[in-house]
Structure 1
Amino acid sequence: MNKKISIILIIALSLFFTETIYANELTTPSGISISDVERFVDDYAHEYIGETTAGASIVILKDNKVVLSKGYGYGDIENQIKINPNTAVFEWGSVSKLFVWVSVMQLVEQGKIDLDEDINRYLPKGFLTKLTYDDPITMLDLMNHTAGFEENIFDTGYANEYRVKSLEEGLKIAEPNQVYRPGKVVAYSNYSTSLAAYIVQLITEQDFNEYVDEHIFQKLGILDSTSYLSLGRNEQITKNKVNGYELIEEGDFKLSTPYYMSMYPSGEINGTAPDLAKFAMALMPQSENENVLFEDENTLVTMLSQSYAINENVPGIAHGFWEYDGKFKGLTHGGNTVSFSSNFHIVPEENFAVIILTNQASESDITYGLTKELVGEKEIDEVKLADLPNSQITEGTYLTTRRMKSGFLNLYYYLLPLTVKSLNANEIEVSLVGMKANYVQTYPNVYKMTKGSTMFIPTNVLYFSIEDGEVKQISTSISDYLPLDKNIFWLTISAVLFIYCLVYFIASPFVLIVISILNRRRKKPSIKIRKWVYLLNIVGTAFIVNIILLVIRMLSNSDRGYFEVFPQIVANYVLTILSVVFIIFILVNWKKATLMKLQRAIYLLSIVTIVILIFLLITWQFYS
């Protein structure tokens, strides 16, 4: 009898402890068992690696421990060299910005930076020369990307290291215009972050990369990464760097170009996923009452608290970190270069983090898709449709605030607008560059993503600011969108007119050659006006060739210095002057020449066409 009782007790105790262990089993914020997370990630990655993603290094943290560190795919596709997660070096891209904000908060803690102070207090007198508004720019504005700077592609990144300048010189060369009033619009800005890093450099009298190495890397034991990769130095890191790729089509990858920056604090860190995991661990609750990065643990609390939000029901910005509306509040930042993509995501209240580095340009299936699966999505509460505005008010075409408004590249953004379409009273479809996502209204004018392309995951919540029955701004934690500022009719007319000029001046040289041959055969006497018309048409063709070459060069590699395209801008001026001269000579000889009606019509058409082309070039800023 005692034996039977003992057996029953053992079984009961076994069941009790099993249920207790199961109940307390660690999970990801989305609910995936930590014991099963490797299989889940393997299955997920298998779907994309080699198809839409070249390779990846993934690290997952839970309760200050690494629960997964694994490489997927190839760091060198041509030679079939697999990614070693412990040594593979990737470009972190804009994840590098988080190290700027930690540096700033370290100086805030020391009383050397006031987040609400005008940054001109810290900069050399007259350093910023293109400010439009008298409103001061604060360090918080730089952190929140609300300083008002336009995007500037030129002189941000280079394919060759020898073009890199010092941080100070790089900031002076690439200074953008201030096109928004400070504090009013979120316009993601590499310049803002690098300017903040320069302020750290001025205050500490230490090169920023050296400051990061001493005050962050060394404290965290980061050994296989560098904040400023330079050939001839960091040989081991350079040796361990994997190749970066561009996706041509599914399963087909093209070797991409290197990426070097003068404004390196915004995106130049090269390193391993385990090193980035050490940084993530330092930002989450510690097992002991000691913080590695700050003297006062309240500084970390402040840094991870919200510093900007347009509405209480939408995620905002936490001193440079993007807030993410997941199952639990996330703090995140993505990164992209011409060859690499990354995502850094922490969930402090769950003591969880996921770090994903890929050697694939513009990758989102794993960087954002897998992260979403691991951190989970907050359930959408049932809402009373009667209390919500009809979604039709959101319909329209919008442009990102992160765009160039000065120079010929402003045209590029009109070709890639964000469009919003109402599906029903409470649901919208958002489209961008051919990708789509559906959003449902959860609060008045707040829309949460329900399905669609992974590229929309970082902006999974949209807020529409409505005034006088019209959308004035779409807000996200990364960059806002503003209504299209040019009439659709005018944009269509511009496109039609340019296509007409393109066809006319491509065809005109061949037509003129044929006419010239026929005139010679018929032995028709040459007249002066004909020569000037021919020259005018040649100038028109030269305009078209110059513009096409400019477009091809920018599409093939947008990481250029302005000096590289400056000769083509000058060429537009020269061709314009020649056009005016030839038109004057044509008009002077107009009355002297004996012309048939058809000749007059053709000559007049050439004048009108080149005037239209020059007008379009002026309108779209091809002279700056």
Structure 2
Amino acid sequence: MYKKLFLLLLIALIPLFPQTLYANEYETPSGIPLSEVEDYVDDYVSDYIGKTTAGASIVIVKNNEIVLSKEYGFGDIENQVKIDSGTSIFEWGSISKLFVWVSVMQLVEQGKINLDEDIRNYLPNGFIKHLKYDDPITMLDLMNHTAGFEERIFDLGYANANQLKPLDVGLQIAEPNQIYRPGEVVAYSNYSTSLAAYIVQLITDQDFNEYVEEHIFQRLGFSDSTAYLLSESNEQIIKNKVNGYELVDKGKFERSTEYYMSLYPSGAINGTAQDLAKFSNALMPQSQNKNVLFENEDTLKKLLSQSHSANEHAPGIAHGFWEYDGTYKGFTHGGNTNSFSSNFHIVPEENFSVIILTNQASELDISYGLVKELVGEKEQHTVSSSHLPSSKSLEGKYISARRIESGFLNLYAYLVPLTVTSINEKEIEVSLAGATAVYTQTYPDVYKMKNGHPLFIPTSVLYFSNDDGDIKQVHTSISDYLPMDKSPYWLTINAILAVYCFLFFILSPFVLIISNILSRKRKKQSLKIRKWIYLLNFAGAAFVLNVSLLIIRMLRNIDRAYTEVLPHIVTNYILTIISSISIAFFLINIKQDKTTKFQFYLYLLTIISIILLISLLITWQFYS
């Protein structure tokens, strides 16, 4: 009888203490029981480690306690050395940017930085030179990547540490052009972040890496991480650093070349996943303990509050963090170098975080795929289909706002566009670089990823803004896309003409040799103009060789100083001068020499082809 009464009483009291009974039932935001997390992760990564991913270090934190800290794969594949637990050092890539934004907010808290102030008021006079607009650029623009800078690859980093420059010098060498009006377009920018770090350096009168070490790393108790790897005190960290790899084929990995960032605040921190877990704990709501990063809890709240969004139903940016549309609102940032890939994801509402570091370039399956499984997806409350516009109007090709506009690398954006195709009235297929995903419309012109390649997980929500039905921008929290500004037909014609010019100047020397042999047999010599045509063909073949070598060098390694490609640019100018002189002397001497019709038309075709080739090189900026 007493047992029955006790049981009934217990059942009646269950609603009064649900946390006690259910706290450990669903520990991850996606609903995976804490007791099953390790098995789940083990099973997930087994499909990738050693097959498409070299190695990984994974840490999962719940309620400020590490519930999983585990390493997979090899840090040295050649010698079969496994990644060590808690000591293996990885490059964090762009996760490093988060430490710039925390530094900025520390100075905001102290009243030394105003987020809405024009950054030129903090910089030396004339420090930024390549501005297109007079509008002020604020620190908030730098945090939101809306300062309007184009992408720049040259001098961002180098394969040789001896090429590194001090931060201020590196910023001046690598300064990009401003191509968008401030505040209008999100164009992810390494330069913006490093510029913000330089402002921290100027205000504190302390090298940025030293500031981070003192005001963030030491406060958090980092033991195996450094903001500047080449410091003499980092001998042990360098020793513990794992090798970075590129995936050549399934199960086959190739050692990557070393990479040293000149604009180091944007992506040069090296450290462990366990130290990043300490960082994630400091970003959680502090109910009892004082926050070690900020004096005022409101500063942390401001840091993780939305600072930019194009639509209320689409995730935006929170002072440098990317908002994530998961089961619960997340804040995240990925990282990529030419040897490592990483992902840092926190869910403050659930006091949950996951950190994934891999020693492989462009890794997506674990760093993004596993995170998605752990944090889950937000349940969508879609608007009635009758209130949603047709997806047909979205079809087309879009180029990334994070693009190079100045110089020959501007061609890349047109070779790899974002392509949108309508599947039905409310679904679209999005493709990029051979990867595809299906998106479903959840609100007017807002599309949520339904399924597809992990490449699209960071941009799982797209918002298409329009002006009277014409798509103006495709908004994501990382970087926007803009409608293609060149006709596909125009691009196709350019491609055909380029192939023609290359083939012509590869084959024409052989045709000229045959023509010369035939002319000698017939005793029909045209020496005066023939030598200029020969020179013209030499110039054309040299153009083809020079541009081909430039493309091959960039494909093999894009981490170069501009001075390394400058000889190719200068060569194009020299060959253009040679070509112009050759054409001029040919026209002067054409009436003095006798030529066959075949020779005359061949010579004329050569002139037209060289002019066409030079025009294409000018169009695609192979002279800058």
Q: Could you say which residue in structure 2 is the equivalent of 1:256?
A: 256
The secondary structure found in structure 1 opposite 2:261 is: coil
CA contact (8 A) 1:430 1:438 kept: yes
User: Does 2:311 align with 1:303?
Assistant: no
Deviation (angstroms), 1:595: 1.5
CA contact (8 A) 2:160 2:258 kept: yes
Per-residue Cα deviation, 1:18-50 (whole angstroms, up to 9, x for no partner): 998652215100000111100000000101111
Deviates more, 1:256-265 or 1:175-184: 256-265
Residue correspondence of structure 1 range 132-211 to structure 2 within 5 A:
132-211=132-211
In 2 relative to 1, CA 530–14 (structure 1 residues): closer, same or farther, beyond 3 Å?
A: same
CA contact (8 A) 1:304 1:318 kept: yes
Q: Could you say which residue in structure 2 is the equivalent of 1:493?
A: 493
CA contact (8 A) 2:524 2:594 kept: no
Distance in structure 2 (CA, Å) of the matches to 1:394 and 1:86: 47
Distance in structure 2 (CA, Å) of the matches to 1:92 and 1:74: 17
Deviation (angstroms), 1:525: 3.3
Per-residue Cα deviation, 1:194-240 (whole angstroms, up to 9, x for no partner): 00000000000000000000000000000100001117541100000
CA contact (8 A) 2:382 2:443 kept: no
Distance in structure 2 (CA, Å) of the matches to 1:15 and 1:420: 55
In 2 relative to 1, CA 155–386 (structure 1 residues): closer, same or farther, beyond 3 Å?
A: same
Deviation (angstroms), 1:16: 9.4
Give the partner amino acid of 2:257: T
CA contact (8 A) 1:64 1:287 kept: no
Give the partner amino acid of 1:273: A
Deviation (angstroms), 1:517: 3.5
Q: Could you say which residue in structure 1 is the equivalent of 2:43?
A: 43
The secondary structure found in structure 1 opposite 2:420 is: strand
In 2 relative to 1, CA 551–233 (structure 1 residues): closer, same or farther, beyond 3 Å?
A: farther
The secondary structure found in structure 2 opposite 1:451 is: strand
Per-residue Cα deviation, 1:83-102 (whole angstroms, up to 9, x for no partner): 11300100000000000000
CA contact (8 A) 1:438 1:452 kept: yes
The secondary structure found in structure 2 opposite 1:75 is: strand
The secondary structure found in structure 2 opposite 1:504 is: helix
Q: Could you say which residue in structure 2 is the equivalent of 1:435?
A: 435
Distance in structure 1 (CA, Å) of the matches to 2:534 and 2:12: 95
CA contact (8 A) 1:306 1:319 kept: yes
User: Does 2:611 align with 1:615?
Assistant: no
Per-residue Cα deviation, 1:477-497 (whole angstroms, up to 9, x for no partner): 000000001111111110000
CA contact (8 A) 2:525 2:594 kept: no
Give the partner amino acid of 2:219: K
Give the partner amino acid of 1:481: Y
The secondary structure found in structure 2 opposite 1:130 is: coil
The secondary structure found in structure 1 opposite 2:324 is: strand
CA contact (8 A) 2:524 2:595 kept: no
Per-residue Cα deviation, 1:227-261 (whole angstroms, up to 9, x for no partner): 01117541100000000000111111110011111
Residue correspondence of structure 1 range 476-515 to structure 2 within 5 A:
476-515=476-515
Deviates more, 1:279-288 or 1:125-134: 279-288
Distance in structure 2 (CA, Å) of the matches to 1:517 and 1:83: 67
Distance in structure 1 (CA, Å) of the matches to 2:377 and 2:236: 40
Give the partner amino acid of 2:473: Q
Q: Could you say which residue in structure 2 is the equivalent of 1:419?
A: 419
Distance in structure 2 (CA, Å) of the matches to 1:486 and 1:104: 39
Distance in structure 2 (CA, Å) of the matches to 1:434 and 1:75: 29
CA contact (8 A) 1:231 1:238 kept: no
Distance in structure 1 (CA, Å) of the matches to 2:393 and 2:539: 48
CA contact (8 A) 2:403 2:413 kept: yes
The secondary structure found in structure 1 opposite 2:560 is: coil
The secondary structure found in structure 2 opposite 1:409 is: helix
Give the partner amino acid of 1:412: Y
The secondary structure found in structure 2 opposite 1:48 is: coil
Q: Could you say which residue in structure 1 is the equivalent of 2:127?
A: 127
Q: Could you say which residue in structure 2 is the equivalent of 1:109?
A: 109
CA contact (8 A) 2:157 2:559 kept: yes
Distance in structure 1 (CA, Å) of the matches to 2:220 and 2:109: 19
Q: Could you say which residue in structure 2 is the equivalent of 1:583?
A: 583
TM-score by length of 1: 0.97
Give the partner amino acid of 2:391: S
Residue correspondence of structure 1 range 369-380 to structure 2 within 5 A:
369-380=369-380
CA contact (8 A) 2:154 2:562 kept: yes
Distance in structure 2 (CA, Å) of the matches to 1:496 and 1:61: 55
Q: Could you say which residue in structure 2 is the equivalent of 1:24?
A: 23
Q: Could you say which residue in structure 2 is the equivalent of 1:84?
A: 84
Deviation (angstroms), 1:516: 2.9
Q: Could you say which residue in structure 2 is the equivalent of 1:539?
A: 539
The secondary structure found in structure 2 opposite 1:66 is: strand
CA contact (8 A) 1:474 1:482 kept: yes
Distance in structure 2 (CA, Å) of the matches to 1:517 and 1:511: 10
CA contact (8 A) 1:147 1:180 kept: yes
Deviation (angstroms), 1:523: 4.8
Q: Could you say which residue in structure 2 is the equivalent of 1:557?
A: 557
In 2 relative to 1, CA 589–478 (structure 1 residues): closer, same or farther, beyond 3 Å?
A: same
Give the partner amino acid of 2:366: I
Deviation (angstroms), 1:521: 4.9
Q: Could you say which residue in structure 1 is the equivalent of 2:385?
A: 385
Deviation (angstroms), 1:520: 4.1
The count of aligned residue pairs is: 621
**Identity of counterpart residues, as a percentage?**
67
TM-score by length of 2: 0.97
Give the partner amino acid of 1:116: D
Give ranges in structure 2 of 5+ residues lacking alignment.
Answer: none
Distance in structure 2 (CA, Å) of the matches to 1:11 and 1:268: 60
